[in-house]
Structure 1
Amino acid sequence: MNRFSNQTVLVTGGAGGQGASHVRAFHAEGANVLIGERAADRGAALADELGPRARLTELDVTDEESWAAAIRTAEETFGGLNVLVNNAGIQNPPALIEHTDQATWSRILDVNLTGAFLGTKAAAPALRRAGGGSIVNIASTMGLGGTAHYAPYVASKWAVRGLTRTAALELGRDGVRVNTIHPGVIATPFIHEPAAGASAAIADFYSPEPFAIPRLGEPADVTELLLFLSSPAASFITGAEYVIDGGLQLGPALQSEPA
């Protein structure tokens, strides 16, 4: 299928574990893809791999001027913007709230929340000019409950939910849909490598064995849902939240038949 032929998609954090999966899939479905990335070398390598319909845009999601430049690139290079995926995110090193410094708190919220806010702000006029489109915010199952030692990350992802719903109300009459995906534990470097300042990775102390689907998620699991939400097949869906976690939110599965 070519669900996104003649459309342009901007994915932030587009060369990371989930981001690269999203970029490749949109490209395979016919889209022009803009890889929003601070790691320019990694983003450029992915753009070179995919060819003329892919381009790196060096993007600091916390900077309004950087966003303006990314939107200009989309419109000047590919003629418009149809889909924005606010995928960029960072994790804090685990610590109790009382041991979390304000700089860490601010940095996590700047990237995970302010980045999505600035992206929505910058993209909304371009999506209107294109006749409508879609914004999908990649949040987390940590935005659905509390998780000890991760207050900045949890707070940022909870706030993305409110941002999504507000944007959906403001943009719906312009033909712009805004939705959220809450991935669980997905097998990417984000899970397998320690966050900056941390000594252990999430995968070191997490096991999916007790849950309904006893495996880590794969980036492709999230990508398939993202493609649906971004496509005309989801034209009546906005302000919605989709959990993709293999049943993590359900709690542990039964390990044996009850007596």
Structure 2
Amino acid sequence: MSVKPRPGRVAGKKVLITGAAGGLGEAMAFMMAREGATLALTDIDETRVADLAWRVNVQTPGSAFAYAHDVASEDDWARVIDAAAADLGGLSVLVNNAGVGGPLAFVEQDTVENWQRQYEINLRSVMLGAKHALPHLRAAAPASIVNISSIAGLAAAPGMGAYNATKAGVWMYTKTLALEAAKADWNVRCNSVHPVFIKTPILDPFIAMAGGDPDKAAERLARGIPLKRIGEPDDVAYCVLYLASDESKFVTGSEFKIDGGMTAQ
């Protein structure tokens, strides 16, 4: 299927975003569509991702397709990548955005099940996405892979062993992909994005610890951030937009911190 390009910073780009049903993925979807991309939006929650695609298409008609997608399943990756490439007429950008947190768990109380879940969704899915998307990305070059990691992949915290380890794995695996693609002359770039606290549902446990008060939770979380506030989803989406666009054609193997100066301290 051929989709007529619209003007914008990612005009003509064919972008697959995982974990797109809410939070960062939703912000990326609306921004990319406004800037000319055609989108394959995937999520394990089929109802919510279909609703998002409908809302994006109200804003920019014909720009979004939705797919149910379990990023921990290789069979699902193969199915979704092939369907998206057929619907979009190719694939030029992969945004590995899907991810999960877990309970605060110190080593003696942690479980194999917690580690396995975070490994499968946060880290193994990035490998599976790259593996199945690369043939399409090479064909559509210049192309880009953007992996959403976390500040927790660069700076550790007690009780977050599985999250720290899997997000650090995303950071380093991104560099491996970048070097492999560069040495093979594929013209496929790969970079990672590392947000700190952003106003998305991932903050729900912190809100619960603050007695259900989002403002109190945000105030507490902002104490360690030099800019003295937490981030908005668009703060991350703008970085992903840059990395998806040809504006970043000489940028690969890099990590982008969206952290209000937190890691500069």
Query: 1:181 pairs with 184, 188, 193, which one?
Result: 193
Provide Cα deviations, 1:177-227, integer angstroms capped at 9, x if missing partner. Answer: 000011011111111x129xx964794794313532011100000111111
Where do 1:98-177 residues align within 5 Å? 98-172=108-182, 173-177=185-189
Provide Cα deviations, 1:92-133, integer angstroms capped at 9, x if missing partner. Answer: 100101101101111111100001111111111110121330
Query: 1:190 pairs with 180, 196, 202, which one?
Result: 202
Instruction: Report how many aligned residue pairs link the two structures.
Output: 248
* CA–CA distance in structure 2, aligned partners of residues 81 and 210 of structure 1: 39
**Structure 1 runs of 4+ with >4 Å offset:** none
* CA–CA distance in structure 1, aligned partners of residues 11 and 218 of structure 2: 41
Kindly indicate whether residue 259 of structure 2 is the aligned counterpart of residue 245 of structure 1: yes
Letter in 2 for 1:15: A
Query: 1:50 pairs with 53, 56, 66, which one?
Result: 56
Letter in 1 for 2:46: A
* CA–CA distance in structure 1, aligned partners of residues 147 and 12 of structure 2: 22
C-alpha contact (below 8 Å) 2:150/2:196 kept by paired residues: yes
Where do 1:199-210 residues align within 5 Å? 200=209, 203=217, 206-210=220-224
Aligned to 1:21: 27
Deviation at 1:10, TM superposition (A): 0.4
1:99 alignment partner, SS class: coil
C-alpha contact (below 8 Å) 2:40/2:65 kept by paired residues: yes
* CA–CA distance in structure 1, aligned partners of residues 111 and 218 of structure 2: 24
Deviation at 1:40, TM superposition (A): 0.7
Relative to structure 1, is the Cα distance of residues 34 and 231 closer, same or farther in structure 2, using a 3 angstrom cutoff? same
**What TM-score results when the alignment is normalised by the length of structure 1?**
0.91
C-alpha contact (below 8 Å) 1:35/1:57 kept by paired residues: yes
Kindly indicate whether residue 239 of structure 2 is the aligned counterpart of residue 225 of structure 1: yes
C-alpha contact (below 8 Å) 2:98/2:122 kept by paired residues: yes
Structure 1 unaligned runs (5+)? 252-259
Query: Identity of aligned pairs, percent?
Result: 38
C-alpha contact (below 8 Å) 1:8/1:74 kept by paired residues: no
1:148 alignment partner, SS class: coil
